[in-house]
Chains A and B, each alone.
Chain A
Amino acid sequence: MLTYIARRLLLMIPTLLGITLLVFTLIALSPGGIGAGLLVSGGQMDAKGAAFLEAYIEDRYGLDDPVPMQYVRWLGRICPLKFGQRDQWDHSERVRRPRALRTPPCADWFAGAAAAPTSDSAAAASTAAGASAPPPGGGAAPSNPIADYRVASRRYAAERVSYSAARREFLRALADHAKAIGRKDLLSPKAIVHTSEFAAAPPPRDAVDWPRLDSAGAKMVSTYAIAMQSRSRLIAAIDAEPFPLAGVPLLPDLMWIGAPDLGNSFSKNRPVIDLLISALPVTLLINLVAFPIIYLIAVPTGMLAAARRGSWFDVLSGATFVGLWSVPVVWAGVLAIGYLANKQYLGWFPVSGLHDTHASDMAFLPSFGTTGWDRGWLLDTIWHICLPVTCLVYAGFAVLSKQTRAAMLENFNADYVRTAKAKGVPRRDVVLRHVFRNSLLPIITMFVSIFPAALAGSVVVERIFSVPGMGSLMIEAIELRDRELILANTTMIACINLLALLLADFLYAAADPRVTYE
């Protein structure tokens, strides 16, 4: 049995890899690619602002890497077994090591400038970063590693932006130069210069726009050097381990075990795990109410319908359930809000949400105190989930009760049922103990296939009733192209699916002794 579990769990890994790869590919292939939603507001910014935003986003989410690389990075964060140095967590944010800077194009034209960065420009960069801390190592007070890290981080961010802006400026100058000398072939359709073509043949020093190129290039090279310096300072600050290390080391500096990091949501700028933790209980609550209702109504109805096959009960329950099943949830939900929740009609139920606005002030249980009747948190919640749960439930009866009925009927004519009757077992016990027990397998199968889907959240119901559950979160993530949120959601749903399948296998074995996994 343990071998079987281990094998199944190990087999889940490639399955999950496949699922995440597929989802990642789909996001990457969608128009605009990964992170398209993030850069929309950058269009109207000035060069500096756009550069800052782009640098920030690229640095934060690693979007400048090629897509396969991004996927591997994402896997590395998700995987509990991690390689390299252990992570540090600055509160809820992972401390990111600065990644390599893009090398300045055509840097060898300005070799002199790179060799001696002027102290002026370095000072300018520090002022631009607004850094007021003493330079590293130069302070008299005992150095505080966290403060050092913050200073180094801020300075590097600013200098990186300076470099990025200078690089852009240089590229623009280069593009103008290419246009001036009539070398349109060196420009790509978006007027970006093919710098590698230029690198081989620098423009002559006496060209008209050489001064512009020279000053832009020199600035680019010098800011690059400064950025590289503060980058190494930042790395040193991180290596000083200002924050507690995460995880458990396996091999020092090579391999360690840590909690999966789902990353930050692009659109909400919050850790994805926080979003899941706030949405999952909502969906769980609704479904843990809806599921027992579906099962407690559909299964006995199916049993009774099978036991009284052809009776009015069989016909009526079948027709009712199929009728309910055919009503679209969208329509039923809107009607329910329009008639049952609208104050102009019945107004019995709240229109949306999961709690009253002042639900947090309520006592848990209903009470009648000095302020009059207080329905309490529990009753308030029940009152709010009435309509969503009804909408989730009513369509679920048909399939389950029909499945139960079919499975029961199949077993009613079985030989062992005849044996049981011949033993003198009363009919009720024949149905419950012999027929139903043998009809459990399809019911288990149904449970396993419905439950993960339900946890993914009924998108429609949650939307209609403005319930902030998993379904709402997922649809929002897709609309906003929030890569981290989509991936986290799909991974979680995939995990639950796979675990549910595993659970089903155990339930099969429990329900039917002929099934073993030895």
Chain B
Amino acid sequence: MSTLTQSVSPKQPPAELTPLFEVADLEVSFDNETGPRVQAVAGVQMSVFPGQTLAVVGESGCGKSVTAMSAMQLIPRPPGRVDGGTIIFEGQDLLSLSEEEMLKIRGAKIAMIFQEPMTSLNPVYTIGDQIIEAILLHQKVLPSAARELALQALRDVGLPAPEERIDAYPHQFSGGMRQRVMIAMALACRPSLLLADEPTTALDVTIQAQILELLHDLQKQRNMAMMLITHNLGVVAGNADVVCVMYAGRVVEYARVYELFENPMHPYTRGLFRSIPALHEQKHRLTTVEEVVNDPAEFRKLPGADRGVIPWWPFMPAENRPATVKGLSEYALHQIEPGRWVGCWRTEQVNAYPRSRPLLDCRR
């Protein structure tokens, strides 16, 4: 796999390199009653290949979920609005599809699971009804056959005694079990892409591990692509093939998981890693992200820094900012070396490089 990616030639990408799902320059903004529109996503790029796990990391409000919701066209409009960009899935631009066409994709080809298993299931229907509803929407089967499929889906996610529990209501399940039900419901129609929006955040650590392992197994069985949105760098290290680090609606770093952990290139990524406590160290206090990104020296470590390749950071003091190209956005996702992308200021030098899409067709 990795040999394939190293043979990337910008002129003619091989056919295998067509990603299943690719977000390009996506911009989404929200109406704000008390001020200017809030730019939630401002030029995000990412791609997912079949069977691959893309981890999207970043703090709350950085646009991870908005990106995923945009792919499903589930951004409430108004107040939300897609200002630009494309989201290509199986060759179609999802953003240009009508509501009827989206109904055939949601749940069938792209499924989504959410952070809150406690509230994400409808409390007044049995879990069986809710899974069967999804199956009947997308598969031409009789209700009795749909029930069989729902039972199978529950068996696949390891729910004990599914025949008895299929007629139970969500409140009769624990949080971990509910998340299994959510996964069963999302995967009942065998989607090719799963958008997992912080699937384990609300769960305790042992259940987290179980759920992630379950997702991993199902992904392997079905060669399903997964976009795993998370805060948790441990989850990233354990599950991701490719990592996309986001900040303020933009991608600040995009790399294979091992390379990212070995050598984080953007000061924000470094800040994230340094703020993780380590078992073998004894510290009075941990380094904060602010301490890293407030250090100007951190921004001069990229190869080519002297030639104007400076990591983009919205809170960089004006005197430290390099001169950017007029008339274009100040930010560009810049390929530092093969397989490594870092969000940089769009200086003349950066702008002179050919645009490269973040494509990394690799699996662990």
Chain A positions within 8 Å of B, measured between CB atoms, are: 414-416, 418-427, 433-434, 437-438, 511-514
A437 in contact with B107 given A416-B119, A424-B134 (CB within 8 Å)? no
Tell me the nearest residue of chain A to B111, going by C-beta.
A422
User: 1/0 per position for B157-170, CB-CB distance to A under 8 A?
Assistant: 00000000000010
Kindly name the residue among A419, A434, A512 whose own CB sees the greatest number of chain B CB atoms within 10 A.
Answer: A419
29 contacts across the A-B interface (CB closer than 8 A): A415-B119, A415-B120, A416-B119, A416-B120, A416-B123, A418-B74, A418-B114, A418-B120, A419-B114, A419-B121, A421-B74, A422-B74, A422-B114, A423-B107, A423-B111, A424-B103, A425-B133, A426-B103, A437-B124, A437-B125, A438-B124, A512-B124, A513-B124, A513-B126, A513-B169, A513-B171, A514-B123, A514-B169, A514-B171
Q: CB of B182 within 8 A of chain A?
A: yes
User: 1/0 per position for B185-213, CB-CB distance to A under 8 A?
Assistant: 11000000000000000000000000000
Tell me the nearest residue of chain B to A417, going by C-beta.
B122
Q: CB of B99 within 8 A of chain A?
A: yes
A423 to B105, CA, bound (A): 9
For the complex of A and B, the 10 pairs showing the least CB-CB separation, nearest first, are: A424-B107, A424-B106, A423-B107, A415-B119, A416-B122, A422-B112, A423-B134, A415-B120, A513-B169, A419-B120
Contact partner of B107 (CB less than 8 A), chosen from A415, A422, A438, is A422
Q: CB of B222 within 8 A of chain A?
A: no
- Chain A hits for B108, CB < 8 A: 424
Q: CB of B116 within 8 A of chain A?
A: yes
- Chain A hits for B122, CB < 8 A: 416, 419-420, 434, 437-438
User: B72 to A422, Cβ gap below 8 A?
Assistant: yes
Kindly name the residue among A423, A433, A512, A513 whose own CB sees the greatest number of chain B CB atoms within 10 A.
Answer: A423
- Chain B hits for A421, CB < 8 A: 72, 74, 106
- Chain B hits for A513, CB < 8 A: 123-124, 126, 169, 171
User: B114 to A424, Cβ gap below 8 A?
Assistant: no
- Chain A hits for B186, CB < 8 A: 422
A438 in contact with B111 given A421-B74, A424-B105 (CB within 8 Å)? no
- The minimal Cβ–Cβ distance linking B136 to chain A, given in whole angstroms, is 10
Given contacts A415-B114, A415-B116, A422-B74, could you give 15 more A-B pairs where the C-beta distance is less than 8 Å? A414-B119, A415-B120, A416-B119, A418-B114, A419-B185, A420-B133, A421-B72, A421-B74, A421-B106, A422-B114, A423-B137, A424-B106, A424-B137, A426-B103, A514-B123
Q: CB of B301 within 8 A of chain A?
A: no
A419 to B104, CA, bound (A): 15
User: B133 to A423, Cβ gap below 8 A?
Assistant: yes
Q: CB of B363 within 8 A of chain A?
A: no
- Chain A hits for B112, CB < 8 A: 422
Tell me the nearest residue of chain A to B121, going by C-beta.
A416
Tell me the nearest residue of chain B to A416, going by C-beta.
B122
- Chain B hits for A423, CB < 8 A: 106-107, 111, 133-134, 137, 185
- The minimal Cβ–Cβ distance linking A450 to chain B, given in whole angstroms, is 23
User: B182 to A419, Cβ gap below 8 A?
Assistant: yes
A426 to B136, CA, bound (A): 12
What secondary structure prevails in chain A residues at the interface with B?
Answer: helix
Q: CB of B357 within 8 A of chain A?
A: no
A342 to B263, CA, bound (A): 92
The number of residues on chain B lying at the interface, defined by a beta carbon within 8 Å of a beta carbon of chain A, is: 31
User: A422 to B123, Cβ gap below 8 A?
Assistant: no
A425 to B125, CA, bound (A): 15
- The minimal Cβ–Cβ distance linking A204 to chain B, given in whole angstroms, is 92
- Chain A hits for B72, CB < 8 A: 421-422
Q: CB of B321 within 8 A of chain A?
A: no
- The minimal Cβ–Cβ distance linking A444 to chain B, given in whole angstroms, is 13
- Chain A hits for B125, CB < 8 A: 437
Tell me the nearest residue of chain B to A421, going by C-beta.
B74
Q: CB of B138 within 8 A of chain A?
A: yes
- The minimal Cβ–Cβ distance linking B22 to chain A, given in whole angstroms, is 20
Per the 8 Å Cβ criterion, residues 135-179 of B in contact with A are: 137-138, 169, 171
- The minimal Cβ–Cβ distance linking B64 to chain A, given in whole angstroms, is 15
A424 to B111, CA, bound (A): 9
A420 to B124, CA, bound (A): 13
- The minimal Cβ–Cβ distance linking B308 to chain A, given in whole angstroms, is 43
- The minimal Cβ–Cβ distance linking B364 to chain A, given in whole angstroms, is 27
A416 to B171, CA, bound (A): 13
A422 to B105, CA, bound (A): 9
- Chain A hits for B116, CB < 8 A: 415
- Chain B hits for A512, CB < 8 A: 123-124
A422 in contact with B106 given A438-B122, A512-B124, A513-B124 (CB within 8 Å)? yes
Kindly name the residue among A424, A437, A514 whose own CB sees the greatest number of chain B CB atoms within 10 A.
Answer: A424
- Chain B hits for A425, CB < 8 A: 107, 133, 137
A425 to B99, CA, bound (A): 11
A418 to B74, CA, bound (A): 8
- The minimal Cβ–Cβ distance linking A241 to chain B, given in whole angstroms, is 60
A511 to B122, CA, bound (A): 13
- Chain B hits for A438, CB < 8 A: 122-124
A422 to B119, CA, bound (A): 14
- Chain B hits for A424, CB < 8 A: 102-108, 134, 137-138
A328 to B182, CA, bound (A): 52
User: A427 to B99, Cβ gap below 8 A?
Assistant: yes
A418 to B65, CA, bound (A): 13
- Chain B hits for A422, CB < 8 A: 72, 74, 106-107, 111-112, 114, 186
- Chain B hits for A437, CB < 8 A: 122, 124-125
- Chain A hits for B99, CB < 8 A: 427
Kindly name the residue among A414, A415, A422 whose own CB sees the greatest number of chain B CB atoms within 10 A.
Answer: A422
A418 to B111, CA, bound (A): 12
Tell me the nearest residue of chain B to A411, going by C-beta.
B122
- Chain A hits for B74, CB < 8 A: 418, 421-422
- Chain B hits for A434, CB < 8 A: 122
- The minimal Cβ–Cβ distance linking A4 to chain B, given in whole angstroms, is 19
- The minimal Cβ–Cβ distance linking A221 to chain B, given in whole angstroms, is 80
A150 to B35, CA, bound (A): 93
- Chain A hits for B134, CB < 8 A: 423-424
A414 to B137, CA, bound (A): 21
Tell me the nearest residue of chain B to A440, going by C-beta.
B124
A423 to B125, CA, bound (A): 15
- The minimal Cβ–Cβ distance linking A413 to chain B, given in whole angstroms, is 9
Tell me the nearest residue of chain A to B182, going by C-beta.
A419
Tell me the nearest residue of chain B to A426, going by C-beta.
B103
- The minimal Cβ–Cβ distance linking A375 to chain B, given in whole angstroms, is 47
- Chain A hits for B171, CB < 8 A: 513-514
- The minimal Cβ–Cβ distance linking B236 to chain A, given in whole angstroms, is 23
- Chain B hits for A419, CB < 8 A: 114, 120-122, 182, 185
A514 to B172, CA, bound (A): 9
Kindly name the residue among A425, A438, A511 whose own CB sees the greatest number of chain B CB atoms within 10 A.
Answer: A425
A9 to B35, CA, bound (A): 58
- The minimal Cβ–Cβ distance linking B103 to chain A, given in whole angstroms, is 5
- The minimal Cβ–Cβ distance linking B98 to chain A, given in whole angstroms, is 12
A514 to B124, CA, bound (A): 8
- Chain B hits for A418, CB < 8 A: 74, 114, 120
- Chain B hits for A433, CB < 8 A: 133
- The minimal Cβ–Cβ distance linking B154 to chain A, given in whole angstroms, is 16
Tell me the nearest residue of chain B to A437, going by C-beta.
B124
Per the 8 Å Cβ criterion, residues 88-130 of B in contact with A are: 99, 102-108, 111-112, 114, 116, 119-126
